[in-house]
Structure 1
C-alpha cells in the first residue's frame, strides 16, 4: 500500500517530491525517503543523493537544509512505506540505491511480490547477499545480475521473473522509469507540471498539490521511460514486460478504503465510486424504518467511510426512509494508527484515545454506523461498545464492502486468515452480528461492489472471494515481531 513519487526535469526536484510524498502520506506512515540525481553539466558525471528515515514526511525532512542543500538535482524519486514484507527498520527504508555495471540505480516499490521466497532462495544459492528483508531488493538484484546489455532490457528481464503486484519508480543516471505490473494491481499515474517536468505518483491527489496536470495512467505491463528527449520533444517512450496474463486485476480495495477520495485511480474518481457503494448498500441493507417521532440517525466512522455514508443517507431518503445524518464520532487527528499496538489489552484503550462519542447526538437514539470494511473486528466491537455506553438505544452496522475472508498477498497487510472475523466465524453474518453486539448487520454483496466500480475494468476480489489472480508461493514466513496486525477501521488518513 506504499506511496511512490517520481519527477524528471525540474530544478527543485526533491522539493516537489517532498510535497508529492506529503500528499501521499495516507499510503504509508512507517518510513519515508527521497533520492535525487545531481548531474554536472561540465563533466557529465552524476551523483545520487539520498535521505531516509523512520517516521512521517514532515518529521524526516523537517530540516530545510536536507531538501535545499543536500538533495540537489533535477530528477528524484520518493517513497512512503507501509510494510508488508520485511520488518520496520532502517535497512528496509526505500528508495533503495545501488551502483552497478550500468551506473547508479534507485528504486521505490508499491505492492507485494508473491514468489519472494522462491526468488530469494535462488539468488542466495547463487551467492547474492541481501541487505534488507524486503521483496523490493529482489528486483534490484535481478536487474544487476541480468546478462542483457541495455538497461531497459535488464529491467524487462528482471520483471519477467517476478510474480505479484508492483508499481515502481526507477531513477537512473539519465532516466526516470515508471513500471506497472501486467495485472495492474496498484494505481500509478503520469502527470506534467506547467514548466514541462514530468511526474509519476501513486494517486492524482499528489498532482493537485504541486499544480501538475494528469495525463494518463501508466498502463498494466508498461515500462514508461522519461528522459531529456522526452522533456525536449514531449515524446514518451513505452516498452512492455514480456509476460502475458489471463486478465487484469485492479485492486478493488483501493476504491473501498485506501485511496484518497479526491484522487482519480484506474481512470475513475474515487469519490464517485464510494458514493455508489453507499447507495447500493442502502438498497441491499436499508436502515431501520424511521418514524415521525423516532428518526434513525446515521453516523460514519471517520474518515474513510465519510463518502460512502453520504451515499447511504442520500439513497435512504430517496427510498422513503427519512434518516438523518449526524456526527456521532469525533476522531483525534493527532494520534497514530492504533493497529501499530500489537498487545490486545491496549487496543480498546487506543480506540478510545482515537475516537470519542458525541453523547448528546447518540443518547436514546437508534443509530446506524456505516463503515467501509471490517477486517479483524476488534475496533468495530470497541466502537459499538463506546456508542452504546453513550446512551444509544439501538446500534445497527452497515458495511460498504463484502466480508473479508482471505488474506491479501498483493500489498494490503490483512491479518492471518484465522484472525479475520468473517473467516473465523465461517462467514456467518449472524455470528458476526452477535460478536459485535449490534441489533443488525449488513454487508454489501460482491455483485453490488463490482456494480459500483468501472464496468470496463477487471478487478481483484481475492480478499472477499479467495480467487487469487496469480500463483501464490508457499505462504511467506512472517515473524511475529515483524507483523503489524491491522484493522481497516483504524485509520490514519
Structure 2
C-alpha cells in the first residue's frame, strides 16, 4: 500500500472534446500541453457516431503515436477523450494506460479516464471481487467503471451517481458514451478540471487552462466539487452527485504540478509562485549577490524572491530538456548522474558570489545536496537555499505519489539538520500561513479552499485504506498528535 517516495511525481492529465471535427488531433494537441502531468503513458479514444477507436501505449505522447504514424488518423469522429499517465496506483504496464473501455447493456461501449487516487480502492476491489468481477488492470482508475457495470440502479445515470458516491479520495473523471461526454469532480475538488469552448462551438474539458490555450478554446468555467457535467449534441447540462462539498484543492498544484501559464480557480499559477517567492524573502531575508532558481518549476518563485528582496536575479542554472527524469533511476549513483546530465551551472553568474538558490520543495534532499555542491564547485562563495513552500512532512493520498514519510527528509529531520545534510550555508522554508496568503483564498468561507495536509497533517477527508499505515507513521515519528 505504501510506496517508496521517488520524488514529487506528477499525477495525470485529462483532455476531452465533444462536437468538433478532427477531435482526436485536438485531443493530441491538448494532451501535449499536459505532458508535465504524466510521462509514463498516453492514450486517446475517439467516438465516430457511436463507434469507438482507441490507441494507447507506454511513454511520452509523441512516442506513443510515432510508433504507428497512422494511429492518429484512424481515431476518427467528432468526439474524443485522452489521458497522460503518471502511476499513483497500480503497476506500470500498458493495461493501466487510459482511457479504459467498458461494455454496458444500456449505453453500449463507454470509455473512462481518471486523475487522482482513491482512498478506499482496496475496499472497493474486495467488494467487486466478491461479485465475481475480473479486472482488466491493477490501477484504481478501473474501479468506477466496474462499479457502474455491477450497480443495481436501473439507468446509466443512476449507476454513475451511485458509483461516484461510493468512491472516496481525489478524483477527476472524464467519461465518454456513444452519445455524451461526462465529467465529474470529487467533493473536495482536489484536482483542477476546467471547461472551454472552441471557435466552432465544440466543448473541451481538461485538467488545466494551458490546454485550452493550446487548442484555441476560450475558458467557460471550472468544474465544481460534486458536479457531473454532461455534454452532448443538445449542449451542456449540470447535475450533482452530492451537495456535501468542501473545496480543498491541492496546494501542490500551485507550488509544483501545474504549468505556470495555467489559471486555477481564477488564480494565475505564475503569479502565485511569484508571491510565494516574495513571501519567503520577507519571512527569511539574507544578504546575497544574486538570486537563481532551480529550473523550471522554481523560476517564477525565484523572480518573486528577487523582486521582494532587491537582490539581482539571473539565470544561474540551465536545464537540459532532453534528459529523462531522474526519480525513476534505481540507484542513487544513477540518480546523481541523471541530475548532472540534466542541470548545469552558468559559472559567470555564481562564481565569487553569495547565492540565494530558490527551489519549490525538498523531498529526499539528495538532489538539493547535489545542486549545492554543483554551485560551490562553480565558485559560489555561499549558497543560501530558500524553499517557496513549507516543509514537506506528511504523505499525500489524493493523487500525488507521496504515500510514506520514510524518505521525506522533512519528516525525519529538523530544518537545521536538513541544512547540514544538503551542505547549504543557510536554509529556510515558506510558512503554511505564508503559502495560503500567497495563493489567496479560493472561497468566501472561513476555510481557505486549499489542501495543505502535506505540510500540517490536516487531511480534509477520512483516509480509509491508508489510515492504519498513516497512524503508524505518525506514531513512529511523533509528527502530529491527533491527525486524521
2:456 equivalent among 460, 465, 480? 465
Shift of 1:477: 12
1:80 equivalent among 74, 80, 84? 84
Residues in 1 aligned to 2:144 and 2:364: alpha-carbon distance in whole angstroms:
32
Aligned to 1:434: 420
Residues in 2 aligned to 1:13 and 1:259: alpha-carbon distance in whole angstroms:
24
Residues in 2 aligned to 1:152 and 1:6: alpha-carbon distance in whole angstroms:
19
Residues in 2 aligned to 1:211 and 1:64: alpha-carbon distance in whole angstroms:
25
Aligned to 2:291: 298
Greater mean deviation of Cα atoms: 341-350 or 394-403: 341-350
Shift of 1:266: 2.0
Superposition TM-score, scaled by structure 2 size: 0.91
Greater mean deviation of Cα atoms: 454-463 or 128-137: 454-463
Aligned to 1:240: 240
Shift of 1:363: 1.5
RMSD: 1.4
Shift of 1:373: 0.8
Greater mean deviation of Cα atoms: 399-408 or 385-394: 385-394
Aligned to 2:6: none
Equivalent residue of 2:127, what SS?
Answer: helix
Q: Deviations 1:2-22 (Å, cap 9, x if unpaired)?
A: 000000001211010000100
Residues in 1 aligned to 2:467 and 2:70: alpha-carbon distance in whole angstroms:
40
Shift of 1:394: 0.6
Q: After superposition, where does 1:147-162 map in structure 2 within 5 Å?
A: 147-162=152-167
Shift of 1:370: 0.2
Shift of 1:345: 2.1
Equivalent residue of 1:411, what SS?
Answer: coil
Q: After superposition, where does 1:236-385 map in structure 2 within 5 Å?
A: 236-242=236-242, 244-245=244-245, 247-288=246-287, 290=288, 296-317=289-310, 323-385=311-373
Q: Are residues 1:207 and 2:195 paired?
A: no
Q: After superposition, where does 1:405-420 map in structure 2 within 5 Å?
A: 405-414=393-402, 416-420=404-408
Residues in 2 aligned to 1:250 and 1:439: alpha-carbon distance in whole angstroms:
34
Residues in 2 aligned to 1:467 and 1:15: alpha-carbon distance in whole angstroms:
42
Residues in 2 aligned to 1:186 and 1:130: alpha-carbon distance in whole angstroms:
26
Superposition TM-score, scaled by structure 1 size: 0.90
2:40 equivalent among 30, 34, 43? 30
Q: After superposition, where does 1:64-79 map in structure 2 within 5 Å?
A: 64-68=69-73, 70-79=74-83
Q: Deviations 1:314-365 (Å, cap 9, x if unpaired)?
A: 0111xxxxx2112111110001111011212211111101111122222221
Contact 1:160/1:243, CA 8 A, preserved across alignment: no
Q: After superposition, where does 1:67-216 map in structure 2 within 5 Å?
A: 67-68=72-73, 70-102=74-106, 103-216=108-221
For structure 1, the 5+ residue unaligned runs are: 40-45, 231-235, 291-295, 318-322, 479-493
Q: Are residues 1:9 and 2:52 paired?
A: no
Residues in 1 aligned to 2:431 and 2:136: alpha-carbon distance in whole angstroms:
44
Aligned to 1:43: none
